[in-house]
Structure 1
Amino acid sequence: MNYRALSKTSLRISEISFGCMSLGNDHVANKALLHQAFDQGINYFDTADLYQAGFNEETVGRAFAGMRGKVVIATKVGNQLRPDGSGWDWNPRKEYILQAVEASLRRLQTDYIDLYQLHGGTIDDPIDETIEAFEQLQRQGKIRHYGISSIRPNVIREYCKRSNIVSVMMQYSVLDRRPEESCLELLREHQIGVLVRGSLASGLLIDKPAKAYLTLPADAVAKASASIQQVATGKTSKTSAALGYVLYHPAVTSSVVGIRTNAQLTDVVEAARHAIMPASSIQVLQQSVPQLVYDQHR
């Protein structure tokens, strides 16, 4: 497994990381899968307080109890669950963040979070207040670094200008190249690491039948999948090609992949070994599908 520095921090994280949202409801099974991922070189694990109403953080905390210093744990905040269980509301206020982090620390069985991320965000948020909360937590040692999870260019620009974020998590793949229009270069210039979600486009680039994706029709998705197959030669699998595409951009630090089974873990780890793509293959993939652009929140 290769490792990359996250922004200007001292954190070095695996270029393929574990999206814990995919975990099930069995602590024992989850621990086994997470430890297998760690044993195969994955050291970055991404969760959120929203996932399974906190159970996801708890299961990650249980899995890595006693070996905290060996793993990099990221979680997220901003979606406040309603007491009646009917859903959640967006809450980026400082008071809520300072309260929510305590529950996350408790569930994760740790006294610090490596990367604390705002789980969304809009241009109408009290952005300076949100930043104040993260900066305070950093001074207190409760978080090491902070970032945001967002695909909104206008929000990303504001955090680049006004904060000390070290990362942005965003959806990016051969099928969804919207970040290439402006966000990736902006983040590279600011030395802010990109954590990619959706690299495999929910399996549409790998093994699932073609269907419409975002604004792309099914035939465009099928063409992209065929191009993935075209560049997947030798030891390079379709998974390798899809991961290699997003890892090619210098702004990207890691691809966060949802892993549910041992078979998926084996496929992803093996694919990571052959995810180095030549420029010619990148061009083939870029030419295979129209580049989408963000039509909102610009």
Structure 2
Amino acid sequence: MALKKLGHSVLQVAPIGLGTMSLKGGATKQNTEVLRRAVELGVNYFDTADLYERGMNEDMIGQVLAPIRDKVVLATKVGNQWRSDGSAWDWKASKAYILKAVDASLARLNTDYIDLYQLHGGTIEDPIDEIIEAFEQLVEEGKIRYYGLSSIRPNVIRAYAEKSNIVSVMMQYNLLDRRPEVIFPLLREKNISVISRGALTQGLLIDKPVKDYLQLTSGEVGHAQRNVEKLANSLGISKTHLLLAYVLSHPVVEVAAVGVRTSAQLNDLKDVIDRPVVLSENDRVELERGIRRLVYKEHV
């Protein structure tokens, strides 16, 4: 895979990344095999969060990838704190919390630095200037190389894009959910990359039974499924390949973070990795034909 620069950073990332939330249960044999196989295939971006399994996911990443730390880009997230009884978590948007939480993530990840530290959510009511100060301090201290945002709220994304040095925004973006395109022009202007999650639409456009999705009816999803099948057959690629090519064909999207649980699922991505497909504008038009464009109704 040809590497791509993430925003205005110097981080070089493969366009297919691994979202590790679905790798549950710690450093099991299966999880270890998935992570090592991903590296063999050319994946170098690994995305986790301190929230996942109360830190166990970070710990697993740290154990397995420590021997090749200098060959991978580690991304994690901060901002949510589990309650002591484990029943739920609370939003902790403060400078003090971020400066404290990073040390725990560094220890679990078995590393001296985090390549990309992302705010895991956020609201426009947060003390945004204070939060930015925390991330900038961590950059100065060498604990993180860059910071970004994980959010689908345009008003929050806009605030950080205008006021901070974020290099990326992780958000759901796929053929059925094109709502983020409202903020894409600003991100492109600021040289901030998008990390797409949910590109495979929960399997609805691949092999899962059709059902409602967000504001779209099952009938509309079925129409989109037919679009995907028709173009995939025309191009001679799988539906998975097409859906990933779709999100990556947008100039502002640099990485599609995909969640897998098994090496077999990862092997299904091998063709995507080995044979990248660049969709033409006509291909995108054909895929989108007849699919209602959704809009954000809140946090605009």
TM-score, with normalisation over the residues of structure 1? 0.97
Residue 8 of structure 1: how far off its partner (Å): 1.5
Distance in 2 of aligned mates of 1:261 and 1:278:
32
Q: Is the 8 A contact 1:17 1:255 kept in 2?
A: yes
Q: Is the 8 A contact 1:243 1:275 kept in 2?
A: no
Residue 291 of structure 1: how far off its partner (Å): 0.5
Matching residue's letter, 1:3: L
Alignment correspondent of 2:284: 282
Matching residue's letter, 1:283: V
Distance in 2 of aligned mates of 1:102 and 1:115:
14
Figure out how many residues of one structure are paired with residues of the other and give that number: 297
Distance in 2 of aligned mates of 1:26 and 1:151:
28
Residue 183 of structure 1: how far off its partner (Å): 1.0
Alpha-carbon deviations, 1:147-176, whole Å to 9, x = none?
A: 000110100110011100000001000000
Alignment correspondent of 1:257: 258
Q: Is the 8 A contact 1:235 1:274 kept in 2?
A: no
Q: 138-147 vs 7-16, which deviates more?
A: 7-16
Distance in 2 of aligned mates of 1:50 and 1:6:
24
Alpha-carbon deviations, 1:112-170, whole Å to 9, x = none?
A: 00000000000000000110100000000000000000110100110011100000001
Matching residue's letter, 2:25: N
Alignment correspondent of 1:65: 66
Distance in 2 of aligned mates of 1:26 and 1:106:
15
- Which structure 1 segments of 5+ residues have no match? none
Q: SS of the counterpart of 2:75?
A: strand
Distance in 2 of aligned mates of 1:258 and 1:68:
21
Alignment correspondent of 1:187: 187
Matching residue's letter, 1:285: L
Alpha-carbon deviations, 1:12-67, whole Å to 9, x = none?
A: 10101000001021413211110100000000000000001100000000011121
Residue 219 of structure 1: how far off its partner (Å): 0.7
Alignment correspondent of 1:151: 152
Q: Is the 8 A contact 1:114 1:145 kept in 2?
A: yes
Q: Is the 8 A contact 1:4 1:14 kept in 2?
A: yes
Alpha-carbon deviations, 1:57-102, whole Å to 9, x = none?
A: 0000001112110100000000011112111000110000011000
Matching residue's letter, 2:47: D
Q: SS of the counterpart of 2:24?
A: coil
Distance in 2 of aligned mates of 1:229 and 1:111:
46
Residue 271 of structure 1: how far off its partner (Å): 2.5
Q: Is the 8 A contact 2:26 2:56 kept in 1?
A: no
Computed over aligned residues only, the root mean square deviation of the Cα atoms, in angstroms, reads 1.0
Q: Is the 8 A contact 2:148 2:167 kept in 1?
A: yes
Alignment correspondent of 2:83: 82
Distance in 2 of aligned mates of 1:234 and 1:15:
20
Q: SS of the counterpart of 1:67?
A: helix
Alignment correspondent of 2:20: 20
Alignment correspondent of 2:210: 210
Q: Identity over the aligned pairs, expressed in percent?
A: 54
Alpha-carbon deviations, 1:232-269, whole Å to 9, x = none?
A: 03431101110111111100010000011112111123
Q: Is the 8 A contact 1:7 1:167 kept in 2?
A: yes
Distance in 2 of aligned mates of 1:269 and 1:100:
36
Q: Is the 8 A contact 1:146 1:165 kept in 2?
A: yes
In the TM superposition, what are the counterparts of 1:55-204 in structure 2 within 5 Å? 55-180=56-181, 182-204=182-204
Distance in 2 of aligned mates of 1:39 and 1:274:
17
Alignment correspondent of 2:3: 3
- Which structure 2 segments of 5+ residues have no match? none
Q: Is the 8 A contact 1:236 1:274 kept in 2?
A: no
Runs of 4+ in 1 over 3 A off after TM superposition: none
Q: SS of the counterpart of 1:131?
A: helix
Alignment correspondent of 1:295: 297
Distance in 2 of aligned mates of 1:169 and 1:234:
28
TM-score, with normalisation over the residues of structure 2? 0.97
Q: SS of the counterpart of 2:160?
A: helix
Q: 231-240 vs 44-53, which deviates more?
A: 231-240
